[in-house]
Homo-oligomer: A and B are copies of this chain.
Amino acid sequence: MEPVTESAPVRPEDIAALRRFNRYFTRRIGALDDHYLGQDRPLGEARLLFEIGDGASLRELRARLALDAGYLSRMAKALEAQGLVRLTVPPHDTRLRLIELTAAGRAEVEEQHRRADALATGLLTTLTAPQRTELTHALATTQRLLRLAAITVAPVDGAAEDARACLDAYAADIDARFPEGFDKTDLVRPEEVTGEAGAFFVAYEEGRPVACGALRTLEPGVGEIRHVWVHPDARRLGLARRILTELELAAAAHDFAVVRLDTHATLTEAQAMYRACGYTEIPAYVDHVYASHWFEKRLAGAR
């Protein structure tokens, strides 16, 4: 299966705007940043130092920064020789190396932060207070949409690791949020969301699953949307809506004429979203302890 999203052709002016911005930004700001941040230190080392944070294993850093093992090993050694980091062997797995900042290393990172702050401050001082606020809003919007754009939604098997991870997180979320708790046996079973029976989608941001949604057969011709969940870090991006769209497309492809779903009374934003997406409230079609509102949408595109 491939992604099922269909979308309008991208307008040239939007492409041009993005490219113009990209060019301006990398030339003017990004370059500055790298230059000031590194100062005396090679950029690679500076970046590594920065990424260590409160300690990490070389293995993690290698994955995160996409570095060659040998290259990283040597950089770590170089930083150790400069007294900026400490390399230790974790007792639970002596193959690994933990790397953490020494006091000197922490001072260096803080100096990096100070410089970056000074750079940002220098830029902002020339703006008036309302302009700064406007900029902050525009940056937030830009970042939100770029993040959303970089997230891909793909159909996955309900039994796949990513799917289970999302469902577990979903269950834990619900369980923590509602006094009724959440009974894990109430989750969809993999076979309910596979092939003819239904569908399961996972959204990925930089390779990590950050949202999911399930579609299963409620009765012939009627689908049920369940477990629409978004990782806390990825909320307020408009991701739930995208998952919903995918699920509806899948529902149409499964020849469902109608999809239904239920939601909890306290999730008012979710309810607002469903309404905005064309759902109408209906009487209870099923009884879950944690459900208190039921919605339905008639699908136009069923074949």
Check B150–A117 contact: CB distance below 8 A. no
Q: List 10 A-B contacts (CB under 8 A).
A: A17-B135, A17-B139, A19-B117, A19-B120, A20-B139, A22-B116, A126-B151, A127-B145, A134-B141, A135-B142
**Which stretch, A5-13, A81-89, A268-276, A283-291, touches the partner chain B?**
A5-13
Check B28–A146 contact: CB distance below 8 A. yes
Q: What B residues does A139 contact at CB under 8 A?
A: 17-18, 20-21, 142
Given contacts A14-B124, A18-B139, 18 further A-B contacts (CB under 8 A): A10-B120, A10-B132, A14-B135, A17-B139, A18-B135, A20-B143, A21-B142, A22-B33, A26-B30, A26-B34, A123-B146, A123-B150, A126-B152, A127-B149, A131-B238, A135-B141, A135-B146, A142-B142
Q: Which B residue's beta carbon lies closest to that of A123?
A: B149
Q: Chain A interface: which size bin?
A: 35 or more
Check A150–B21 contact: CB distance below 8 A. no
**A30 in contact with B30 given A10-B124, A142-B135 (CB within 8 Å):** yes
Check B22–A121 contact: CB distance below 8 A. no
Chain A contact surface mostly: helix
Q: Which B residue's beta carbon lies closest to that of A245?
A: B128
Q: Is A15 positioned at the interface, with any CB of B under 8 Å from its CB?
A: yes
Q: Which B residue's beta carbon lies closest to that of A133?
A: B14
Check B146–A29 contact: CB distance below 8 A. yes
Q: What B residues does A249 contact at CB under 8 A?
A: none
